[in-house]
């Protein structure tokens, strides 16, 4: 009986200490970043998520490290990609002539 209780305890301990990083698809990450640009509460939630991922990545969690890298690449891509407001269409038309 003690062996069964000890076995159950060990299994519960392993489950409780398991990897608890939620994995998002690229599309979900892009939508989260887009929503964060429009909504302050969503931005705060995203910042909190990124902080937690950074902490877990520093602790050696590879899943958290991968998720953080993907989020950062999406955020950096969004910042460096020009919007239609940034593009001078006259330059584009003149270069085609």
pLDDT of amino acid 77: 75
The string of pLDDT tens digits covering residues 4-60 is 555 565 555 555 555 678 888 989 988 888 888 888 998 899 999 999 999 999 998
**70 band by pLDDT with thresholds 50, 70 and 90:** very high
Q: Which two tokens stand for residue 48?
A: 């909190």
Residues 6+ apart with CB under 8 A from 29: 70, 71, 74
d(CA 74, CA 46): 13
**78 band by pLDDT with thresholds 50, 70 and 90:** low
pLDDT of amino acid 54: 92
pLDDT of amino acid 22: 84
d(CA 84, CA 47): 27
pTM of the predicted model as reported, rounded to 2 decimal places: 0.61
pLDDT of amino acid 88: 56
Residue whose entry in the numeric block shows the structure tokens 């330059």: 91
pLDDT of amino acid 45: 92
Q: Which two tokens stand for residue 37?
A: 């640009």
């Amino acid at each position: 009986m003690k062996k069964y209780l000890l076995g159950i305890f060990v299994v519960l301990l392993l489950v409780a200490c398991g990897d608890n990083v939620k994995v998002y698809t690229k599309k979900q990450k892009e939508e989260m970043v887009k929503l964060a640009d429009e909504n302050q509460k969503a931005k705060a939630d995203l910042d909190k998520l990124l902080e937690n991922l950074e902490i877990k990545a520093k602790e050696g969690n590879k899943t958290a490290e991968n998720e953080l890298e993907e989020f950062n690449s999406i955020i950096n891509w969004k910042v460096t990609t020009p919007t239609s407001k940034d593009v001078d269409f006259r330059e584009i038309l003149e270069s085609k002539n």
